[in-house]
Amino acid sequence: MGTVMHFRENFRAKREKDFGLENALAGYVRRRWPEKTIGYVQREWGLSESEAAKVVYAQASKATLNKLLHHKRGGFGLFVELLADATSTTIEQYIRTQAERAAHERRTWEAEERRLAALSAHLSEPRRIAGRRD
């Protein structure tokens, strides 16, 4: 039983990742309200029955997603969860990755700055022409 459940969870996560926000939202609402899902979705975000059904069946329109984005019980927090599901990453992983990228970029620019300073110093040195005496 544990292996089957593990397989289902991995399959669900892969499927949500493959299909983006609509599937991530459908998975979210089905986990949150396993029974009478359409009714709960309708009440939670003030959607019509048709809009709620489309959310549950991973067919939410852009207009519906925008309603959820701007709803007081939706918004940033909901979309962070959906993006985490859709991309198989967490906000913590994203922030850590961006910090590592920024640190690498800073090291690259610092090395370039040192290279250019050395080049500038080299070009500023007085030149001696071969065979000429000063």
DSSP string, 72-124: TTSHHHHHHHHHHHHHT--HHHHHHHHHHHHHHHHHHHHHHHHHHHHHHHHHH
Query: Looking at the domain assignment, is residue 123 inside a domain?
Result: no
Query: Looking at the domain assignment, is residue 114 inside a domain?
Result: no
Query: Looking at the domain assignment, is residue 35 inside a domain?
Result: yes
How many other C-beta atoms can be found within 10 angstroms of the C-beta atom of residue 79? 17
Query: Looking at the domain assignment, is residue 100 inside a domain?
Result: no
Query: Looking at the domain assignment, is residue 116 inside a domain?
Result: no
pLDDT in tens, 110-130: 999 999 999 999 998 887 665
- Of 36-40, 55-59, 83-87, least confident by mean pLDDT is 83-87
pLDDT in tens, 67-84: 999 999 999 999 999 999
Query: How many domains are contained in the chain?
Result: 1
Query: Looking at the domain assignment, is residue 17 inside a domain?
Result: yes
What residue numbers bound the domain in which 76 lies?
A: 2-88
Please indicate, yes or no, whether the overall pTM of this predicted structure exceeds 0.75: no
Query: Looking at the domain assignment, is residue 115 inside a domain?
Result: no
